[in-house]
């Protein structure tokens, strides 16, 4: 994987980024190198323990890398960055604060950089009693309040760790709609982790796949799917020599495989473009397959905030 050059239009740049939970613990994220252009909506995908939350914490400046660097809009990641908003997975909030007090704190801590209307809309403030404290809220309600704090901050980079977890189907639909409308209005960059690939496929245009702390795939979803093919061919896998085989399995008398074609495919083969889900599952199911990081698409840099 080539090291990305520093670009002022890049929202997030990682070079050899390594992170640990404890100083002497194992690497949770290892030697991650990638670049996300400004203006993209990036799906961050990987199994549990793959380093998604660690990557987001490093980008938010909450953790410090044990090796490598991470830059946000060309500057080293740090806490208190006015252009970065972070929604952590555990939704930390002051337990004894009411919902109004929580939003008031966020407004005070982001003076001149706070969208009160957006925050109230996301939190759906009318649903809460004025005496409701955060400790009395359900998981879904806490998520709403935490998301309101993140989206209320007028940030150019939103780091959202499983933002729709704990929410019911209706709330998911409503909040995803609000998030997409917010992104369309502001042109901000979003990095959003989730386990539900179908949900991300509709919303995201960029993909970053992690597995066991390493970057497996990175690039625009269209380009990544275009770079792969699901082929069905008669016979065994020997015919696939010369192509990068990500995953293969027997199918009747033939073979079905997800490959990265290195040349024009024979006409006898049945080839299809893989879905996002097929692509992700194949890479996660075959950790030995070579990683692929496509260079950032310059089209996105025109939409940079």
Q: Report the C-alpha dihedral over residues 11, 213, 89, 220, rounded to 10 degrees.
A: 40
Residue 68 touches another protein, criterion: CB under 8 A: no
The nearest distance, CB 305 to another protein, in angstroms, is 16
Residue 139 touches another protein, criterion: CB under 8 A: no
Name the DSSP letter for residue 117. Answer: H
Residue 108 touches another protein, criterion: CB under 8 A: yes
Selected range binding another protein among 37-45, 56-64, 251-259, 285-293, rule: CB under 8 A: 56-64
- Per the CB < 8 A criterion, the answer to whether 44 and 197 are in contact is no
Which residues lie below 8 Å from residue 213, measured CB to CB, with a gap of 6+? 27, 28, 29, 30, 32, 50, 51, 54
CA dist 33 and 185 (Å) reads 30
Nearer of residues 105 and 244 to another protein, judged by Cβ? 105
CA dist 86 and 186 (Å) reads 17
Selected range binding another protein among 24-32, 99-107, 208-216, 245-253, rule: CB under 8 A: 99-107
- Binding residue for another protein (CB under 8 A) from 149, 179, 183, 224? 149
Residue 79 touches another protein, criterion: CB under 8 A: yes
Residue 195 touches another protein, criterion: CB under 8 A: no
Q: What CA–CA distances, in Å, run from 190 to 75, 161, 291? A: 18, 11, 23
139-152 helix and 169-186 helix, angle to the nearest 10 degrees = 0
How many chain residues interact with another protein (CB under 8 A)?
A: 47
The phi and psi torsions of 192 (rounded to 5 degrees) equal -130, 120
- Binding residue for another protein (CB under 8 A) from 90, 169, 170, 184? 90
Residue 78 touches another protein, criterion: CB under 8 A: yes
Residue 62 touches another protein, criterion: CB under 8 A: yes
Residue 76 touches another protein, criterion: CB under 8 A: yes
Work out the end-to-end distance of the chain between its first and last CA atoms, rounded to an integer number of angstroms.
27
> Considering only CA atoms, which of 103, 300, 143 is closest in space to residue 221?
300
Cα dihedral sign, 220-222-224-227: negative
Residue 97 touches another protein, criterion: CB under 8 A: yes
Selected range binding another protein among 85-93, 180-188, 194-202, 269-277, rule: CB under 8 A: 85-93
Residue 269 touches another protein, criterion: CB under 8 A: no
CA dist 118 and 77 (Å) reads 25
Nearer of residues 154 and 243 to another protein, judged by Cβ? 154
- Binding residue for another protein (CB under 8 A) from 31, 67, 68, 105? 105
Residue 305 touches another protein, criterion: CB under 8 A: no
Residue 109 touches another protein, criterion: CB under 8 A: yes
Q: How many residues does the chain have?
A: 305
Residue 107 touches another protein, criterion: CB under 8 A: yes
- Binding residue for another protein (CB under 8 A) from 17, 32, 43, 85? 85
Residue 254 touches another protein, criterion: CB under 8 A: no
Across the beta sheet with 244-251, the strand order is: 244-251, 254-260, 229-234, 270-272
For another protein, the binding residues (CB under 8 A) are: 57, 60-62, 64, 76, 78-82, 84-86, 88, 90, 92-94, 96-101, 103-111, 113-114, 116, 120, 125-131, 149, 153
């Amino acid at each position: 994987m080539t090291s990305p050059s520093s670009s002022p239009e890049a929202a997030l740049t990682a070079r050899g980024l390594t992170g640990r939970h404890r100083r002497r613990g194992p690497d949770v994220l290892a030697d991650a190198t990638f670049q996300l252009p400004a203006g993209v909506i990036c799906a961050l995908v990987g199994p549990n323990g793959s380093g998604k939350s660690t990557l987001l914490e490093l980008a938010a400046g909450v953790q410090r890398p044990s090796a490598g660097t991470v830059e946000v809009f060309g500057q080293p990641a740090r806490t208190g960055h006015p252009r970065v908003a972070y929604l952590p997975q555990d939704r930390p909030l002051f337990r004894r604060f009411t919902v109004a007090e929580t939003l008031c704190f966020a407004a005070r801590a982001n003076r001149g950089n706070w969208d009160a209307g957006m925050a109230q809309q996301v939190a759906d403030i009318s649903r809460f009693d004025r005496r409701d404290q955060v400790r009395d809220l359900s998981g879904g309600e806490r998520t709403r309040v935490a998301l309101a704090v993140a989206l209320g901050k007028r940030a150019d980079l939103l780091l959202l760790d499983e933002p729709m977890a704990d929410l019911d189907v209706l709330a998911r639909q409503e909040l995803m709609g609000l998030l997409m409308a917010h992104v369309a209005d502001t042109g901000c960059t979003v990095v959003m982790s989730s386990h539900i690939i179908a949900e991300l496929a509709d919303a995201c245009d960029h993909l970053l796949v992690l597995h066991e702390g390493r970057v497996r795939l990175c690039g625009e979803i269209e380009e990544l799917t275009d770079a792969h093919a699901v082929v069905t061919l008669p016979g065994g896998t020997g015919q696939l020599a010369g192509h990068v085989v990500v995953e293969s399995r027997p199918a009747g008398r033939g073979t079905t495989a997800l490959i990265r074609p290195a040349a024009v495919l024979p006409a006898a083969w049945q080839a299809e473009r893989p879905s996002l889900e097929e692509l992700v599952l194949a890479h996660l199911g075959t950790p030995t397959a070579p990683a692929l990081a496509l260079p950032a698409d310059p089209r996105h840099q025109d939409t940079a905030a």
